[in-house]
Amino acid sequence: MKHYLLILLLSFSFLSFSQDKAYTEEDISISEWIDGTLLQPNTIEKPNLAIIIAGSGPTNRDGNQNFLKNNSLKKLAESLTNNDIATFRYDKRIVKQIRQGKVDENIMFDDFVKDAKDVVNYFKEKDTYSTIYIIGHSQGSLIGMLAAKDKVDGFISLAGAGQNIGDVIVEQVTNMAPQLGEEAQKIVDKLKQGETTTDYPASLASVFNSDVQPFMINWMQYNPTEIVRDLDLPILILNGTKDLQVSENEAQLLKDANENATLHIIENMNHVLFEIEGDSLENSKSYNESFRPISTELINSITKFILAR
């Protein structure tokens, strides 16, 4: 009996170690500031490629920043590649700058757009993919729209805003502190005109710090609905009902701006792509819970959209 049990245990051990990944993994440097990870399915010679663009802040290729680790974008990439779609995800340039202690104080929103275009051009020149799609998450949605025009075969907005970022900020401030809504609007109006200001209350300093105003001015020159309206390619717009940062209304604005776009609202999915059954506390905690799986409905929706082309 002991001999049989030993053979059984060894068999399980052999099986677990002999199972290879369904894809190959390669780290690639696109430019001075952009490093990322390419996942290639083993079963297809010329697969479709999805380029994943992260959201705001110093977000790395896996979807993590600072002390928040959820691995949402890593899980997105691996899940898609397991469905025979090659993926490339990359660190935002500020991630590398922070690591090297060389943060550019004059960084602009347009720098992120240039990085996305550099990534697209890198893979287009290789001509090794059947189609190339962009998946832009949160802030990456607008970046992706700007990089997508006349360059790729399809675009996917994942929890992307439909309003100008200035209007989004005013709305968020008003919802959190109604007494500050009017002040926030005045500041945003100035920034939209390309003017910096020091005339803001201390309570809004974290939002409108003088150091970030040039970046915000650059960002505010773009209106997502106007950009998406001009995209003449297949578009999929995704949002979750449990997203604390970007509401379903934002997704609807994008859909309304382009009648050919497909809108898919995913029940209980939050901003970091997890399904949340509980309250806002569970939702917030999940941003630092990398053990959670991402939405299966999300993966199925993106896979179906890309492979249908």
pLDDT tens-place string over residues 243-288 = 999 999 999 999 999 999 999 999 999 999 999 999 999 999 999 9
Tell me which of 200, 221, 242 is where a domain ends.
221
Residue 70, in any domain of the structure = yes
Q: How far is CA 246 from the centre of its chain?
A: 12
Do 136 and 171 lie in one domain? The reply is no
- CATH number of 148's domain: 3.40.50.1820
Do residue 126 and residue 194 come from a single domain?
no
The 3-state DSSP composition of the chain as helix, strand, coil percent (nearest 5) reads 45, 15, 35
How far, CA to CA in Å, does 14 sit from each of 8, 10, 24?
A: 10, 6, 21
Give the three-state DSSP class for 71: coil
Does residue 14 lie in a domain region? no
- Does residue 179 fall inside a structural domain? yes
Is 8 inside a domain boundary?
no
For residue 29, tell me if it sits in a domain: yes
Residue 6 domain flag: no
Which tokens belong to 177? 């502190």
Whole domain around residue 245: which residue ranges? 21-163+223-307
Could you say which residues of the chain have pLDDT below 70? 1-20
| Whole-angstrom distance, CA of residue 190 vs CA of residue 234 | 36
Which domain-ending residue is among 173, 189, 221?
221
Is residue 136 within 8 Å of residue 217, measured between CB atoms?
no
Q: Are residues 228 and 135 in the same domain?
A: yes
Q: What is the C-alpha separation between 158 and 139, in angstroms, rounded?
A: 9
- Among 201, 221, 241, the domain boundary falls at 221
Task: Give CA–CA dist 197/34, Å, rounded.
Answer: 32
Q: How far apart are CA 29 and CA 194, in angstroms?
A: 34
Cβ pair 154, 233 in contact under 8 A: yes
Spell out the residues 6+ positions from residue 97 whose beta carbon is closer than 8 angstroms to its own: 33, 103, 104, 107
Are 104 and 136 in a shared domain?
A: yes
Q: What is the Cα–Cα distance from 156 to 141, expressed in whole angstroms?
A: 8
Question: How many domains in the chain?
Answer: 2
Instruction: Kindly state whether residues 214 and 277 are assigned to the same domain.
Output: no
Please give the Cα distance from 294 to 272 (Å, whole number). 8
CA distances from 214 to 86, 194, 228, 302 (A): 36, 8, 24, 35
Per the domain annotation, does 12 fall within a domain?
A: no
Residues 148 and 192 in one domain: no
Same domain, 74 and 212: no
Cα–Cα separations (whole angstroms), residue 221 to 95, 189, 226: 24, 12, 11
Same domain, 65 and 197: no
Pair 112, 206 in one domain? no
Q: Kind of pairing, strands 154-158 and 262-266? A: unpaired
The confidence score (pLDDT) of residue 18 equals 36
CA 159 to chain centre: 8
Within its chain, how far is the Cα of 273 from the centroid?
A: 10
Q: What is the SS3 assignment for 291?
A: coil
Please indicate, yes or no, whether residues 275 and 253 belong to a single structural domain of this protein: yes
In this structure, is residue 2 part of a structural domain? no
Based on the fold, state whether residues 156 and 280 are members of the same structural domain.
yes
Do 227 and 90 sit in the same domain of this protein?
yes
